[in-house]
Amino acid sequence: MSDVTTRLDVFKTYKLYVGGKFPRSESGRVYEVTDSKGQWLANAPLGTRKDTRDAVLAARAAVKGWSGTTAYNRGQVLYRVAEMLQGRREQFTAEVATAEGIGAKKAAALVDQAIDRWVWYAGWTDKVAQIAGGSNPVAGPFFNLSVPEPTGVIGVVAPQTGYGYSFLGLISVIAPAIATGNTVVVAAATDAPLPALSLGEVLATSDLPGGVVNIISGRTADIAPTLASHQDVNGLDLTGAIAADGPGAAAELEASAADTLKRVIRPVEEPSALDWTNAPTTDRLLSFLETKTVWHPMGI
Amino acid sequence: MAKNKNIAESVSANAGARKSGLFEYAPAPESPAAAGDIATSYGHFIGGEFVDSSGSEALKTVNPATEQVLAEFAHGTDEDVDRAVTAARKAFADWSALPGSERAKYLFRIARIIQERSRELAVLESIDNGKPIRETRDVDLPLVAAHFFYYAGWADKLDYAGFGTAPKPLGVAGQVIPWNFPLLMLAWKIAPALATGNTVVLKPAETTPLTALRFAEICRQAGLPKGVVNIVTGDGRTGAALTAHPDVNKVAFTGSTPVGRAIAKQLAGSRKKLSLELGGKAANIVFDDAPIDQAVEGIVNGIFFNQGHVCCAGSRLLVQESIQDELLDALKRRMATLRVGDPLDKNTDIGAINSAAQLARITALTDAGEAEGAERWSPACELPGSGFWFKPTLFTGVSQAHRIAQEEIFGPVLSVLTFRTPTEAVEKANNTPYGLSAGIWTEKGSRILWMANQLKAGVVWANTFNKFDPTSPFGGYKESGYGREGGRHGLEAYLDV
């Protein structure tokens, strides 16, 4: 009888998050995810164009319910996600540390900030209409009101670089889009998809309706062009698009998005210089909103 | 009901009288001379001076009501565009550094001069564009002045506009505008651009350059610093050169969806900020409890205002099946009283189609409507012998798949579809790639608000149509473009936010 018992870790099979479910990739394929030193961490599903199209369908199906719920309710659902994130703090800290090659203390600080940022956006759901809309004093006997409304389905290319990109950056691009009632299909960072795939597990166990957030891991060059050209995607966040030429490059994707006149967030000129710990502004919140103005005559 | 009947009888009596020649309106022509002198040829307005083009190609602008050539104007070359952008760049440093309160005063001056010269501008606009003087005088010009007044007041209050403190201008704005509201579109573009500290190069449409060139004179009268506003004339080639110019920081375009799409493609990968106001195919939805006479006025205003040359025109009438016959009878009676003809006659309701090319497009699409099985109706009306004209036209029996129900016609052509339930109305209304505007006619307030909520459109007019105001944001959903013009929202397009 040995007094040293060794125990093998139970590995997790990472899966995509689509329509509130965890499908394997239609490709049946995976790719190796390594830490910053090149050590194998896990096999992530190699999401395909078909997976992406399925995710867009799920996101479209979720628009009506999610945008139709009250802003108050959306706020509570988002806050519930923060509660669940808090409970998984240690897991995300470990994933961020290995993904970005930083110490546990720094990683924990990034995760804490990500949770706080999610809470910040949760609080915006029932306030954004008050800062982005209002009554217009037209010169005539009319009641005239402008209200912001969600754009619809947003394709998000998650940040692939910049300090804190793998989780804080990811949350910084997802939360504002859904806080305003949009639904999203997220192309996770190719080299660091594990925090994104774990986020899917958190979202599934929160009260967020299936399809509001859909997460696909794989090659950006496969997923992003599908989102950019898809007829049923209304907005495109290119924050994590590759700057170089070729499919998946920002300019190429923006040109493709022009065919359906998608609203586009362009990447900054130097994405690697981004520091995701910087305080967010309302830009991302307002980028995927439309302003609807309603007129009615006044009289007796 | 009795009241409605009386009105209907008096209308048809009046129509009868017109046919017999009794009680016909006497002509009430505006004097073309009020437009001031129109030169035989125009160059560009660059750096505060009227200058010749570097090229030799000249385009002609015609009076669409007579087909007479009004003037020649320069086709802006790449070099012309470059000169104008350079002038705007040079002017940018001083203009953007000017205290907002001083920029405001220039804009107030411009607004006042527009008011002073509004009759001249209204007549000139009517001659160059073909739209009725009643509209240029009572709609376009008052709104043009109002836009300059409105944005003048923002120039020294930008810190309070909700885009953070001390928002910055973008630089040189390249602006391309359409021919349907030549001066109003100029005002929508130039007023917010200048208020926020940008300088501009504007290209008016090739069929309607005259009022923009007249506006250049107003800039001079106002003492606007040289190069702050530059006007380069030409056709699509000049516009493409402007939007592609590497030293332009912001592109604003109003026009067709295909051109907007091409510009978005052209600008992909650049750092230029872009706003687009594109096409529309608005549903004007009439419920069975709507006040019929008011709805008919709204339908007429929605599609026949400015000959239907309106991107937000109510070109699809969705009428609840139960009142279809009653509404269409009333609409036809009303349409029979519309007066088509001389734009300078103050009695004219519907003026000339802006160009031969546009007339051809309207003709082709309406022919397609007949070929696809829709039933065409127009009131009896005589059209002038020369010029470009199109009778106010109604199509019934239109299905959603018909081209006349899907494509923007940009003419006085109304397609009628029916619905039974509010949900069906919403589905049909939203069944186009466009999302610019919509109309709702019902006495039930809660239904209006529910409908307004469901419709994918940037502007929803309830129990009214085609109302505009500088304080009211305007712009589209979906493929009708992005960004808003007007109101506080309109500032965003010209600020680095």
DSSP B217-248: HHHHHTTPPTTSEEE---SHHHHHHHHH-TT-
- A53-66 pLDDT, tens digit each: 999 999 999 999 99
| Per-residue pLDDT at A1 | 52
Domain with CATH 3.40.309.10 in chain B: 283-462
Asked whether the beta carbons of residue B489 and residue A131 sit closer than 8 angstroms, the reply is no
Domain with CATH 3.40.605.10 in chain B: 32-278+480-496
> Do A180 and A150 form a contact (C-beta atoms < 8 A)?
yes
Closest CA to B470 of B90, B39, B143: B143
| Per-residue pLDDT at B13 | 36
DSSP, residue by residue, B97-112: HS-HHHHHHHHHHHHH
> Mean pLDDT, consecutive 10-residue segments, chain A of 300 residues?
78 96 96 95 97 98 98 98 98 97 98 98 98 97 98 97 97 98 98 97 97 97 96 97 75 96 94 95 95 96
Q: For residue A133, what are the CA distances in angstroms to A129, A213, B449?
A: 5, 26, 16
Among B162, B261, B271, the residue with its CB nearest the CB of A261 is B261
The C-alpha atoms of residue B181 and residue B148 are separated, in whole angstroms, by 16
Residue B392 CB-density burial (10 A; 0-12 exposed, 13-18 middle, 19+ buried): buried
Measured distance between the N- and C-terminal CA atoms of chain A, rounded to whole angstroms: 94
The correct answer on CATH 3.40.309.10 for the domain covering B283-462 is: yes
Partners of B477 on chain A (C-beta within 8 Å) are 290, 292
| Per-residue pLDDT at B11 | 36
Residue B74: CB atoms within 10 A of its CB come to 24
The C-alpha atoms of residue B38 and residue B52 are separated, in whole angstroms, by 17
Tell me the HSE value of B6 on the side-chain side, using a 13 A CA sphere: 3
The correct answer on CATH 3.30.70.260 for the domain covering A30-297 is: no
What architecture is domain B32-278+480-496?
A: 3-Layer(aba) Sandwich (3.40)
Closest CA to B290 of B457, B394, B425: B425
Residue A66: strand, helix, or coil: helix
Give the domain ranges of chain A. 30-297
Partners of B467 on chain A (C-beta within 8 Å) are 138, 140, 142, 295
Residues with Cβ within 8 Å of A187's Cβ and at least 6 positions away in sequence, in order, are A47, A52, A155, A156, A157, A158, A216, A218, A220, A223, A224, A227, A240
Q: What is the ipTM of this complex?
A: 0.94
Alpha helices per DSSP H over B207-355: 210-221, 236-244, 257-267, 292-304, 324-335
B162 touches A at CB < 8 Å: yes
A141 touches B at CB < 8 Å: no
> Do A233 and A185 form a contact (C-beta atoms < 8 A)?
yes
Partners of A138 on chain B (C-beta within 8 Å) are 467, 469, 471-472
Radius of gyration of chain A (CA): 20
Angle between helices B236-244 and B257-267 (to 10 degrees): 30
Measured distance between the N- and C-terminal CA atoms of chain B, rounded to whole angstroms: 55
Taking CA–CA distances from A139, the nearest residue in chain B reads B469
Q: Are strands B413-419 and A183-187 parallel, antiparallel or unpaired?
A: unpaired
Closest CA–CA distance from residue B471 to any residue of chain A (Å)? 6
> Do A170 and A159 form a contact (C-beta atoms < 8 A)?
yes
> Do B1 and B323 form a contact (C-beta atoms < 8 A)?
no
Closest CA–CA distance from residue A172 to any residue of chain B (Å)? 18
B487 touches A at CB < 8 Å: yes
For residue B166 the two structure tokens come to 């001390």
For residue B278 the two structure tokens come to 């594109």
A246 touches B at CB < 8 Å: no
Residue from A63, A230, A261 to probe the interface with B (highest B Cβ count within 10 Å): A261
Closest CA–CA distance from residue A238 to any residue of chain B (Å)? 11
Beta strands in B104-218 (DSSP E): 172-176, 199-203
Tens digit of each residue's pLDDT, chain B (497 residues): 344 444 334 333 333 334 445 677 899 999 999 999 999 999 999 999 999 999 999 999 999 999 999 999 999 999 999 999 999 999 999 999 999 999 999 999 999 999 999 999 999 999 999 999 999 999 999 999 999 999 999 999 999 999 988 899 999 999 999 999 999 999 999 999 999 999 999 999 999 999 999 999 999 999 999 999 999 999 999 999 999 999 999 999 999 999 999 999 999 999 999 999 999 999 999 999 999 999 999 999 999 999 999 999 999 999 999 999 999 999 999 999 999 999 999 999 999 999 999 999 999 999 999 999 999 999 998 999 999 999 999 999 999 999 999 999 999 999 999 999 999 999 999 999 999 999 999 999 999 999 999 999 999 999 999 999 999 999 999 999 999 999 999 999 999 98
| Per-residue pLDDT at B9 | 40
Asked whether the beta carbons of residue B268 and residue A144 sit closer than 8 angstroms, the reply is no
Beta bridge partners of B460: A294, B438
| B-proximal residues of A, 252-291, CB under 8 Å | 252, 254-255, 257-261, 263, 266, 269, 281, 283, 290-291
Radius of gyration of chain B (CA): 23
Q: How would you label B450-479 residue by residue, b for 16+ Cβ within 10 Å and e otherwise?
A: ebbebbbbbbbbbbbbbbbbbbbbbbbbbb
| A-proximal residues of B, 415-474, CB under 8 Å | 448, 452, 457-464, 467, 469, 471-474
Locus of tokens 């339930």: B421
Residues with Cβ within 8 Å of A130's Cβ and at least 6 positions away in sequence, in order, are none
The C-alpha atoms of residue B366 and residue B379 are separated, in whole angstroms, by 15
The C-alpha atoms of residue B76 and residue B213 are separated, in whole angstroms, by 14
For residue B78 the two structure tokens come to 């790449």
Asked whether the beta carbons of residue B469 and residue A292 sit closer than 8 angstroms, the reply is no
Our measurement of the distance from residue B416's CA atom to the centroid of its chain's CA atoms, rounded to an integer in Å, reads 23
